[in-house]
């Protein structure tokens, strides 16, 4: 789980994954800052890491990467997402499940105009469907 700023979206995703995925599913909280990591840890993540190096290293250790579309956009989240992070996410062999939030000046055609809780439900359902 990669998140930044206050970690609120990541925390919601961690809670939902904890509730819906099989027991034993390991969730890593990867925050662009300590506050985001802490929020995801409080929500039930197994392990946490903070900052560019933790995110870049972990992208090659996990099976699935979850976050918002912003993790593919350098300088998004008010500059917290670095080009190196974007490169690591993009080059990782992990499956990527992203929420299409339009906060970084990017609009993705064909994405539903749904409230965040509905998007989170759809994302977790897709992870379950794909057997990740």
Range of the domain at 39: 2-130
Structural domains counted in the chain? 1
pLDDT tens digits for range 90-110 = 999 999 999 988 777 888 888
Residues 15-20: contacts with CB within 8 Å, 24+ apart?
15/43, 15/44, 16/120, 16/121, 16/124, 17/66, 17/124, 17/127, 18/43, 18/44, 20/124, 20/125, 20/128
Residue 132's pLDDT is 58
pLDDT tens digits for range 118-129 = 999 999 999 999
Residue 92's pLDDT is 98
Global confidence as pTM: 0.92
pLDDT tens digits for range 4-51 = 999 999 999 999 999 999 999 999 999 999 999 999 999 999 999 999
CATH number where 48 lies: 3.40.50
User: Which of the pair, 28 or 130, is modelled with greater confidence?
Assistant: 28
Question: Over 90: is that where the pLDDT of 111 sits?
Answer: no
């Amino acid at each position: 789980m990669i998140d930044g700023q206050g970690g609120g979206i990541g925390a919601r995703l961690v809670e939902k994954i904890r509730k819906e995925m099989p027991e034993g599913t390991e969730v890593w909280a990867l925050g662009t800052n300590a506050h985001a990591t802490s929020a995801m840890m409080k929500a039930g993540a197994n392990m946490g890491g903070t900052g560019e190096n933790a995110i870049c290293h972990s992208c090659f250790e996990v099976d699935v990467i979850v976050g918002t579309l912003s993790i593919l956009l350098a300088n998004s989240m008010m500059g917290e997402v670095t080009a190196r992070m974007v490169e690591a996410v993009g080059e990782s062999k992990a499956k990527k499940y992203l929420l299409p939030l339009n906060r970084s000046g990017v609009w993705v055609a064909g994405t539903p105009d749904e409230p965040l809780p509905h998007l989170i439900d759809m994302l977790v359902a897709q992870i379950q469907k794909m057997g990740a």
